[in-house]
Amino acid sequence: MKKQYDAVIVGAGFAGSVCARVLAEGGRRVLLLDRRDHIGGNAYDEKDESGVLIHKYGPHIFHTNDREVYEFLSRFTEWNGYQHRVLGRVGELSMPIPFNLDSLRIAYGEEEAASLEALLVQTYGRDTQITIGALRSSDDERLRALGEYVYEHIFLHYTAKQWGVPASEVDSSVTSRVPVRIGHDDRYFVDTYQGLPTDSFTALFERMLDHENITVTLGCDACERLTFANGEILFDGEVFLGDVIYSGMPDELFGYKYGRLPYRSLDFEFKTLDMDDFQGYGTVNYTMHEPYTRITEFKHMTGQRIEGKTTVLYEYPRSYEAKEGQIPYYAILNPENLALHARYREEAALYPRLRLLGRLAEYKYYNMDAITGEALRFARSIL
Ligand SMILES: Cc1cc2nc3c(=O)[nH]c(=O)nc-3n(C[C@H](O)[C@H](O)[C@H](O)COP(=O)(O)OP(=O)(O)OC[C@H]3O[C@@H](n4cnc5c(N)ncnc54)[C@H](O)[C@@H]3O)c2cc1C
């Protein structure tokens, strides 16, 4: 084994697969392992029993301003040009999210909205984007009240559901990033490049990993094959001198020796319905007291034409309790957890050829474009 491969990569998501491709093209022989029975990590998609293309781990929309990332991935796929639009179901009302001038009309009615619009335009300018934080700290009483409305109806309960905390404990400082648009643009993302792979994410990964220097082994738990002791990495019991790139949970890699890193998880409920169109939008966010945060209808995103059937996905946030089949999705970023992660990072640093890379390994939120960019840079630095 140690003679055969120059690198062992754990995880066939964006972190691992991008590294595998770059190293393979640089002449390195790569072994890519994943414990799942498929490639693609959380971006994996497949057709369900009714033939609808679904995203098994929640809706994934590619968007970036990073031209290098876009061009790299475009070697393995064309894009369908989908621009994500999200409708907010706010009690009985439905309005665009991010909150914009159309949302304002729906929330306040024509007359009041016209007067607020004039005030917004006068204060911040037309077609600008501000934050809820700016509104809530405005000197103008009416703007502050509008900020409170958006904070409570769009942000507060949704965030409390997402993170499993009472609304009273939601850190109001986070609102500094939540956008409000003084215009009619209702796209969720405003990045230059947006879309879904024309065929599927899985096809993108298949092409990216189709290289003579890459061997993919699925259904394989790398923690059962890698051992770390006294500065040496063993693979299948033999000293391995090549690079090891690991995109799983660092606490698991080191036998939870400093304790478990906390994560948030999600329960997914897929429903296939005998109709052409369920909600008219890719995603509807439920911002108030429903137990789910959002419903996704995949056909609107993938553009797939299939008559009389549609599949929707309800997302229920949950705490991650390491139960069988449960998946850790989001790192919970607070000082205590980051300090715990730092201990695992220090442990990893004892092995110079080991690199923790990706949303789990680095205990941070990455969009697909960001982890692709990071993986490109890292793999090139090895070469
Ligand atoms: C619900 C949801 C929606 C999202 N939507 C978007 C979106 O719209 N746009 C966007 O840009 N980003 C989105 N993201 C983020 C996106 O999923 C991540 O950027 C991406 O998955 C990160 O890739 P990764 O390789 O780090 O991790 P992953 O995709 O999680 O891949 C890690 C892989 O490692 C494997 N692994 C772990 N441990 C081991 C082990 N011991 N042995 C073998 N294999 C192992 C896992 O099985 C997994 O396949 C979303 C994330 C979630 C949770």
In the reported structure, the alpha carbon of residue 204 is separated from the centroid of ligand 1 by a whole-number distance in angstroms of 15
Mean pLDDT, rounded, for 16-42: 98
Which atom of ligand 1 is nearest to 252's Cα?
41
Q: Is 92 exposed, middle or buried (0-12, 13-18, 19+ CB in 10 A)?
A: exposed
Note the pLDDT of residue 8. Answer: 98
Is 158 near ligand 1, meaning CB less than 6 Å away? no
40: nearest Cα among 73, 70, 68? 73
For ligand 1, atom 2: residue with the closest CA? 58
CA distance 148 to 226: 52
pLDDT at residue number 2: 45
41 touches ligand 1 (CB under 6 Å): yes
Q: Taking residues 80-93, report their average pLDDT.
A: 97
Centre of ligand 1 from the C-alpha of residue 296, in Å: 18
pLDDT higher than threshold 80 for residue 176: no
Long-range contacts of 142-150 (CB under 8 A, 24+ apart): 142/116, 143/119, 146/104, 146/116, 146/120, 149/107, 150/99, 150/178, 150/180
Mean pLDDT of 36-65: 98
pTM of the model: 0.96
The pLDDT tens digits of the residues spanning 249-277 come to 999 999 999 999 999 999 999 999 999 99
Atom 5, ligand 1: residue with shortest CA distance: 60
- The reported pLDDT for the residue numbered 177 is 76
374 CA from centroid of ligand 1 (Å): 14
Q: What values do phi and psi take at 41, rounded to 5? A: 55, -140
CATH of 7-39+209-258+332-382, one of 3.40.50.300, 3.40.50.720, 3.40.190.10, 1.10.10.10: 3.40.50.720
Question: Counting beta carbons within 10 angstroms of the beta carbon of residue 270, is it exposed (0 to 12), middle (13 to 18) or buried (19 or more)?
Answer: middle
pLDDT beyond 70 at 173: no
Whether residue 1 is predicted with pLDDT greater than 70 in this model: the reply is no
Rounded to the nearest angstrom, the distance between the alpha carbon of 226 and the centre of ligand 1 is 21
Give yes or no for residue 162 CB within 6 A of ligand 1.
Answer: no
Q: Per the omega criterion (within 30 degrees of 0), is the bond before 98 cis?
A: yes
| 45 touches 200 (CB < 8 A) | yes
Q: Please give the distance, rounded to the nearest whole angstrom, from the Cα atom of residue 71 to the centre of ligand 1.
A: 21
For residue 16, give the ligand 1 atom closest to its CA.
25
At residue 90, does pLDDT exceed 70?
yes
Distance (angstroms) between ligand 1 centre and the Cα of 57 equals 9
Ligand 1 pocket: which of 65, 247, 252, 301 to mutate (most atoms <8 Å of CB)?
A: 247
In this prediction, residue 165 carries a pLDDT of 87
Count the helix, strand and coil residues of the chain and give each as a percent rounded to the nearest 5. 35, 25, 40
Nearest-CA residue for ligand 1 atom 12 is: 367
In this structure, the residue with its CA closest to atom 38 of ligand 1 is 248
CA of 329 relative to ligand 1 center, distance in Å: 8
How do strand 238-239 and strand 30-34 relate by DSSP bridges? unpaired
- pLDDT of the residue at 171: 75
* Ligand 1 geometric centre to CA of 92 (Å): 34
Range(s) within the chain of domains with CATH label 3.40.50.720: 7-39+209-258+332-382
Please tell me the distance from the alpha carbon of residue 330 to that of residue 327, in angstroms, as a whole number: 9
120 token code pair = 């917004």
Tens-digit pLDDT profile for residues 125-145: 999 999 999 999 999 999 999
Unique residue bearing structure tokens 């439905």? 94
Question: What is the 3 state secondary structure string of 331-345?
Answer: ECCCHHHHHHHHHHH
Helices (H), 191-292: 201-208, 250-253
Ligand 1 touching residue 196 (CB < 6 A): no
**CA-nearest residue, atom 15 of ligand 1:** 367
Residue 296: pLDDT over 70 = yes
Q: Is the distance from the beta carbon of residue 12 to the nearest atom of ligand 1 less than 6 Å? A: yes
Which pLDDT belongs to residue 166? 85
Ligand 1 neighbourhood includes 36 CB (under 6 angstroms) = yes
Residue nearest to atom 48 of ligand 1 (CA): 41
Strand-strand pairing, 7-10 and 30-34:
parallel
Model confidence pLDDT, tens digit, residues 191-248: 999 999 999 999 999 999 999 999 999 999 999 999 999 899 999 999 999 999 999 9
The dihedral through the CA atoms of 78, 25, 37, 84 has a sign that is negative
Phi-psi region for residue 174, left (φ > 0), alpha (ψ -120 to 50) or beta? alpha
pLDDT band at 170; cut points 50, 70, 90: confident
Q: Is 61 in the pocket of ligand 1 (CB under 6 A)?
A: yes
Residue 33 pLDDT > 50, yes or no?
A: yes
Percent of the chain with pLDDT over 70: 98
